[in-house]
Structure formats: C-alpha cells, structure tokens
C-alpha cells in the first residue's frame, strides 16, 4: 500500500445505479461508495442491496473500492457492516471514529476486511494516534466539514482553524504506516480553490484528496502525482548517489544540493508511486 496511489477518492452514493455505473469509467484512484450521508434514511436498506449488486457485477478495474457505512450506533450501522463483509470491496470506512474501541467493534462484524476511519470529530483527532496504531486500520479519511462544525470554526484562508487537526491526524498516520486522504473541497466549480487546497494537502504530506464531484478528479490526480521535473530529479539523485557509493563516498551532490540516504529513499518512493500511477492509468 505504500506506493499505491490514492490521489483521488470520489464519494459515490450507494443508492444511485446511474452514478455507480458511471464510476466504472472514471479516472479515479479510489471510490468511496457511500451508504451514510448520501443516502436518505428511508433508502438505507435498498441502497445496501443496490451497492452489493453493483460490486458483484464488477467492472471497477484497478480502482480501490471502499464502502462507507453508517455509524455503528445508528439503527443501520450493524446491518451495513455485516452486509459489507460479504461485498466485493477492498475496505470498509467507518464514520465518526472517536477511539480504537470503535475499530474493535467494527472488526468483529467485518471479518478480515481492512478498516478505514473517518477522522471528523474532536475526540477522533485527540485519539488519532491510538486509532492509527490499531492493527486493523489501513487508512484515514479526513471529514473536515463535520470537524469544522463540531469545532465551531469559520472558513479562513489556508484552513488555518483546522491546521492542528490536519497535522495531528497526518502525524498519527505516518507514525503507523496508515494512508491519509484529505477532506473534501465543497465548491466543486471553483477550480482555483481546489488546486490551492490540493497543493496544501500535498505539501503537508497527504496521499490524496476526497472528492464530491467527478469534475474534481483531474485536478486531484495531477496535483498529487509526481511532476516530470520531480521524476527527473529523483532519477538523477539515485544515479549520483549510487555512483558516489561505488567510489566509497557517503553523499553525492546534485544541482548544488547534498544527497544522502534519506533523499534517495524519498526519490525511490516517488519513482515507485509514479510507476504505480502509470500502471493504473494503463488499465
């Protein structure tokens, strides 16, 4: 999972057959099939069946298939979890995770299915490290809208009121090898704003962006992918360091900058990600 790209993760309502069909042709790295917020209360049971049928039919190719269920404390959560355990998906996404105990409760219901956690509450952020450390947790998805609501924050440039939460969840994820996907950008027609927020998340270290509209996919994919210039630099750093090592040296110099082991490790990870993106794109 370390090199598998999660540049874009698009929410798709589990109740809408047309959207489920369209998702098969979208150039997205992951699909967040939603049984929670995108489905009305009186449509929950039907959505579960609709989604199960669509996943059984297949056709989603290399896209990573994650199903977001309703919280376990709701009247639909346990039935969702038991149903998802039988679906042809790659992981289950639990909303409103506040502690590792929430993960324990879900793990009992979903067998060996990898678990992802919505990090969208003050308690969840405060307990991010213990949640990321849970052996069943594979990924985090930030729920920045819910978090902002609970915190009572106002919209501000660079998401300043959410910086602590974004960084704390990312630190926890990186400490335990967990994928970290940034929260959604609501103004799906504002390309400039989306670019800025994707660049912010990328520069912080997030793996990708969760999305609410297919029109956002191209920007997220482009922003979270290594650029040609970055790939070229990584290749030259590796070559220069290998040459230096062959001469008994511990460092190299590329473009006037020192290159050490840590830079080479970063370069190799970037090239592995670029190759994984090429493989997914080719499928």
Question: What does the pLDDT look like over 241-256, one tens digit per residue?
Answer: 999 999 999 999 999 9
Residue 150 pLDDT: 97
Higher pLDDT, 8 or 281: 8
Tokens of 191: 């390309």
pLDDT over threshold 80, residue 225: yes
Q: Are 70 and 35 in contact (CB under 8 A)?
A: yes
Question: What mean pLDDT do residues 115-139 have?
Answer: 98
The secondary structure of residue 123, as a DSSP letter, is H
Q: 8-223 domain in CATH 3.30.230.30?
A: no
pLDDT tier at 280 (50, 70, 90 boundaries)?
Answer: confident
Distances (CA, A) of 136 to 79, 88, 112, 204: 20, 18, 8, 25
pLDDT over threshold 90, residue 282: no
Closest alpha carbon to 24 in 49, 51, 61, 67? 61
pLDDT over threshold 70, residue 269: yes
Phi and psi angles of residue 75, each rounded to the nearest 5 degrees, phi first: -75, -10
Looking only at Cα atoms, what is the longest distance across the chain?
A: 70
pLDDT tier at 147 (50, 70, 90 boundaries)?
Answer: very high
The secondary structure of residue 102, as a DSSP letter, is H
Concatenated DSSP letters of 69-107: ---TTSTTHHHHHHHHTTSS-SEEEESS--SHHHHHHHH
Higher pLDDT, 157 or 69: 69
Distances (CA, A) of 63 to 4, 135, 139: 11, 24, 15
Mean pLDDT of the chain: 96
pLDDT over threshold 80, residue 28: yes
Q: Are 174 and 207 in contact (CB under 8 A)?
A: no
Share of the chain above pLDDT 70, in %: 99
Question: What mean pLDDT do residues 92-115 have?
Answer: 98
pLDDT tier at 157 (50, 70, 90 boundaries)?
Answer: confident
SS3 141: strand
Residue 2 pLDDT: 67
Reported pTM: 0.95
């Amino acid at each position: 999972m370390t090199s598998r790209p999660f540049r874009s993760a698009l929410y798709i309502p589990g109740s809408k057959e047309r959207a489920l069909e369209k998702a098969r042709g979208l150039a997205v790295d992951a699909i967040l099939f939603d049984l929670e917020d995108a489905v009305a209360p009186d449509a929950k049971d039907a959505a579960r069946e609709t989604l199960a049928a669509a996943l059984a039919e297949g056709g989603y190719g290399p896209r990573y298939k994650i199903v977001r269920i309703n919280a376990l404390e709701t009247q639909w959560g346990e039935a969702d979890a038991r149903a998802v355990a039988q679906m042809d998906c790659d992981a289950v996404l639990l909303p409103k995770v506040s502690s590792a105990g929430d993960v324990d409760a879900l793990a009992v219901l979903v067998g060996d299915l990898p678990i992802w956690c919505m990090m969208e509450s003050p308690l969840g952020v405060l307990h991010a490290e213990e949640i990321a450390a849970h052996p069943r947790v594979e990924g985090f998805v930030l729920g920045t809208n819910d978090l902002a609501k609970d915190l009572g924050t106002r919209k501000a440039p660079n998401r300043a009121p959410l910086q602590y939460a974004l960084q704390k969840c990312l630190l926890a994820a990186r400490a335990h090898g967990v994928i970290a996907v940034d929260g959604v950008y609501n103004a799906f027609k504002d390309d400039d704003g989306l670019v800025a927020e994707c660049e912010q998340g990328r520069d912080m270290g997030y793996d990708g962006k969760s999305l609410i509209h297919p029109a956002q996919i191209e920007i997220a994919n482009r922003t979270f992918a290594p650029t040609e210039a970055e790939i070229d630099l990584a290749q030259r750093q590796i070559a220069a360091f290998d040459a230096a090592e062959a001469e008994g040296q511990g460092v190299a110099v590329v473009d006037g900058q020192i290159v050490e082991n840590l830079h080479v490790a970063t370069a190799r990870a970037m090239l592995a990600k670029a190759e994984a993106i090429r493989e997914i794109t080719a499928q």
